[in-house]
Structure 1
Amino acid sequence: MAEIVAARPLLAAERSVYKPAAGADIQHESATRTIRALGQDVMAGIRTPPPPARGLSGTWPYAGTSYLRQWLFSADPLPVSLLSKRGVTRSDAISRMVDRAVTVWPGSAAGEKSTTLAGQIRDASGTRNRRQAIALYRRATATLCDGVAALAGNALWLMKSTRKPEGAPADVTAVLWETLRLLPPAWMLFRRGGGAFAGLHPEIGAQDRVALFPLLMHRHPDYWSDPLEFRPERWAGVADPENTPAFMPFGFDGARCWAKHLIVPLAERLVKVALDSRLVISSPPQEAHIPLRSLLSVRFDAAIGV
């Protein structure tokens, strides 16, 4: 894995959030500005009261995604708030209509509130810059909310069989780090085209796509005791989990998730809300088919307990 990661820089098309948009590459300055804006919005959202807990009922991780979008971005004015609605993002036709509406959006009226991320759309000059700002808004909000909902859902699913009747565990953060080890949402990474990797191994062809699996590395018995066991206590006293050997929950050097500093705090807040609201998880299967997609998220039904 280390050799493949070092063989060449990550291509623009391999970045989920910062791949080209509106016919042009996303410049480093725009990417940096976007992640800073996202950070401000997440920190502001964490400090506000969460939406009604009934929004957590339904099929996960979709219920968690919708709940996070309502929590963090519902204050944005129309049509910007539609960019982060799951019902919109699931339809290419509706997405294009919303994009066109936001492109001509006049901006916030006097006294109208919006997130910092939405402000980047309002302040963008020129059609292409605005279209790129729209793409970054949609990608950043979707990647954040989908990833956090997957992590929180995976943690709730893992805790179901180990949680004591009295409720929430003492250290939710340790639960999340163990979830990132055992069921990491970023469970595999793709590299397109194997030309740079062909010399590393005789079975890698110049046109091959290469898949890397942190999921397997996180379960390697040479690095982990009881690797298939869910043991949050293994993280007790670990000051910097990401420095743990054979543990890369947010990607590899040079290609790490830019929002990694936001993921665990927001997921911790979401898990605590779910536990405090006595979220009841329907018995999900212990074995399930995992589709070859970039995000690993356990599917289950849940409802707020009585």
Structure 2
Amino acid sequence: MPETAPATVREHSVVYAPRIQDLLARETKVFRADARTVGVSDAHLMAEIVAARPVLSHERSVYKPAAGAEIPHDSATRTIRALGQDVTAALRTPPPPVRALAGPWPAAPTTYLRRWLFGSDPLPVSLLARRGVTRSDVLSRLVDRAVTTWPGSAGPDDTATALAGLIRGAADPLERQQAIAMYRRASATLCDGVAALAGNALWLLHATGRRPDDLTATLWETLRLLPPAWMLYRNGDDAGGGGTDGGGAYAGLHPEIRPGDNIALLPLLMHRHPDHWTDPLEFRPDRWAGVADPEKTPGFMPFGFDGARCWAKHLIVPLADRLLTVALAHGLAVRSPRQDAPVPLRSLLAVRFTASVGA
């Protein structure tokens, strides 16, 4: 039987991919997921694992090496600041027509967000954020080559985003190649993450028949019950170089962990432990009422741990809040013909359904 999330108020359910269902069926907080991987959902052990060694560059989704070289810290910092500027600027502008959100989710909001946030960038830079391009290695390489010849000076009517400006302002070919990679990764990570969070929240509201009285609380409860970042992975060997032996760092922390084991940290499971949560499988946004800093809640890890938190965490909830506010104000609603919604095995946990605008 697939797990139901939340209570079956309209007999709606979430049907997880078999491997996720298998994880949800685990009763122990530390278990062997396969011959080389140990799954962990114990909050204290998770903290010890993260503290055992720094996260390696190749374990980061956005800041992993690009163009054959490490991403310098100052480049990473500039990327975060530029993305923050672009989100702030976009939120001050009218959003695209809401009818563009109709269709399959999370694909529809992903495309919508990329248009909203990065649609002002000139060709070919804007192609870096197109789903049809990012899903094709051949098209990605062609666009990358085109972007390398993008003019390096801005005119008086230039509307490029700050993130695109990092490409134009690159000092040398390597920095330019890395800026192109960072543009693609940062735009994809932000838009995909916000779309997944907003979609999961919209489905939970639909499934329970709740009114979204407090969208911010709704999003925090969605991050608890259906967190897009449902698993954090730590490699057990030194695949990234630098002399850090993940297996050696982890092996003494728990009897189940052997030298060389990979570690799967599972917020999806930790967020459902009854020792941290009352009625853990119930969708209850009211549990966040009056909580000043949700991330300090025990047993809650929506954006990772200190030292390895999601670089865009301060943008994701406000942007998802604004997206849902706009969508719901224009009558966007779930119109899926199914009574359940699939959640495939992907890096981001996202409910699949169809939405339409108006009655």
Name the TM-score, length of structure 2 as normaliser: 0.82
Aligned partner of 1:278 in structure 2 is 331
Report if aligned partners of 1:163, 1:169 keep a CA contact under 8 Å in 2.
no
SS of equivalent residue, structure 1 residue 161: helix
Look up the match of 2:219: 176
What does residue 154 of structure 1 align with?
A: 200
Q: Which whole-Å CA distance do the structure 1 matches of 2:149 and 2:314 have between them?
A: 33
**C-alpha distance in 2 between matches for 1:162 and 1:16:** 33
1:44-55 equivalences under 5 Å are 44-55=89-100
The reply to whether residue 140 of structure 1 matches residue 186 of structure 2 is yes
Relative contact order higher in (CA < 8 Å, ≥ 6 apart)? 2
Q: What's the offset of the Cα at 1:54?
A: 1.1
Structure-1 separation of matches of 2:278 and 2:232: 25
- Quote the Cα distance in structure 2 between the aligned partners of 1:156 and 1:208: 37
Confirm or deny: 8 A CA contact 2:341 2:351 kept in the other structure: no
The amino acid of 1:174's aligned partner reads A
Query: What is the percent sequence identity of the aligned residues?
Result: 71
Among candidates 122, 126, 136, match of residue 168 of structure 2 = 122
Which residue matches 1:36? 81
Which structure 2 segments of 5+ residues have no match? 1-45, 237-245
Q: 2:139 aligns with which of 94, 100, 111?
A: 94
- Residues 215-237 of structure 1: per-residue CA shift (max 9 Å, x gap): 11111101110100000011111
Of Structure 1 and Structure 2, which has the larger fraction of its residues in strand? Answer: 2
Is the contact made by 2:80 and 2:311 (CA closer than 8 Å) also made in structure 1? yes
The answer to whether structure 1 residue 256 and structure 2 residue 309 are counterparts is yes
SS at match of 2:306: coil
Structure 1 regions of 5+ residues with no counterpart?
A: none
Q: Any idea what SS the aligned residue of 2:276 has?
A: coil
Quote the Cα distance in structure 2 between the aligned partners of 1:49 and 1:66: 16
SS at match of 2:264: strand
The number of residues matched between the two structures is: 302
Find the aligned partners of 1:189 and 1:219 in 2 and give their Cα distance: 16
For residues 102 and 355 of structure 2, the distance between their equivalents in structure 1, rounded to whole angstroms, comes to 5
Corresponding residue SS for 1:302 = strand
Q: Is the 8 A contact 1:26 1:132 kept in 2?
A: yes
Cα distance per residue 1:246-295 (max 9 Å; x no partner): 1110001210011111000000011111111211211545464541x321
Separation in 2, partners of 1:250, 1:140: 15
Tell whether the 8 Å contact from 2:270 to 2:300 is kept in structure 1 after alignment.
yes
Change (3 A) 1:284 1:198: farther
1:191-230 equivalent positions in 2, closer than 5 A:
191-193=234-236, 194-195=246-247, 196-230=249-283
> What CA distance in whole angstroms lies between the structure 1 residues aligned with 2:62 and 2:101?
26
Verify the 8 A CA contact 1:57 1:304 in the aligned structure 2. Answer: yes
Aligned: 1:189 with 2:242? no
2:68 is aligned with 1:23: yes
Counterpart amino acid of residue 141 in structure 1? S
Deviation at 1:47, TM superposition (A): 1.3
Could you tell me how far 1:109 is from its partner in structure 2?
3.8
CA contact (8 A) 1:60 1:298 kept: yes
Question: Hey, what's the Cα distance between the residues in 2 that align with 1:284 and 1:243?
Answer: 37
Q: Which moved more, 1:205-214 or 1:231-240?
A: 205-214
CA contact (8 A) 1:189 1:294 kept: no
Deviates more, 1:278-287 or 1:6-15: 278-287
Establish whether residue 294 from structure 1 lines up as the match of residue 347 from structure 2. yes
Give me the whole-angstrom Cα distance separating, in 1, the residues matched to 2:356 and 2:60.
35
Moved more, 215-224 or 193-202: 193-202
Distance 1:287 1:279, change over 3 A: closer
Runs of 4+, deviation exceeding 3 Å:
107-110, 283-290
SS in 1 for 2:208: coil
**Aligned Cα root-mean-square deviation (Å):** 1.4
Question: For residues 288 and 206 of structure 1, what CA distance do their matches in structure 2 show?
Answer: 36
Q: Give yes or no for contact 2:342–2:352 (8 Å, CA) kept in 1.
A: no
- Tell me how far apart the structure 2 counterparts of residues 46 and 163 of structure 1 sit (CA, whole Å): 29
